[in-house]
Amino acid sequence: MSTRRGKRIDWREAALLAENMRAKAYAPYSGYRVGAVLVARKDSESQTELFIGANVENASYGLCVCAERNAVASAVLAGMTVFLGLVVATEGPTPAAPCGMCRQVLAEFATDMPIGLVVGGEIVDKTSLAQLLPRMFNGAALAEAQAKIAKQAKRASARKARS
């Protein structure tokens, strides 16, 4: 769900919205509620939009969905695939960064972006995707590996043809 449009990131607004989303999380098993706000835009546009998410737990823990991935799904469904920033709200007292799975999903769309960590509606720490996932695996890495494999196959085929 998109909440507003603009050209600049209002970090205070995003922090408060993430805190509001945290209150709506479905966390009957862990009690650990998380809210997220993703700032995104379409590739060809400068207007940004906010996309919200909250964690949704399931009795089968592997089926739980994090707040960050819910926000990513909302953005992608709206055609927004350029991610500019993320805010994650947790109860605290120590702020929590996105989990490894969420980091990898974010890396599909951005090699870096600022991430604000919220407790009590305030950003209490800032980090970035590149800091949290320094050697990310993304589409570029996959394309590079596929190109290398194709080149090796071509050389092997050429050697075989010469023999």
State the amino acid at position 64 in one-letter form. Answer: C
Which residue do the tokens 């999903």 mark?
A: 105
Q: Is 13 one of the catalytic residues?
A: no
CB 51 within 8 A of CB 69: no
CA distance 41 to 33: 27
Task: Give the sheet arrangement for strand 114-119, strand by strand.
Answer: 2-6, 48-54, 35-41, 82-90, 114-119, 122-128
Burial class (CB in 10 A: 0-12, 13-18, 19+), 49: buried
Selected catalytic residue, list 19, 49, 68, 144: 68
Active site residues: 68
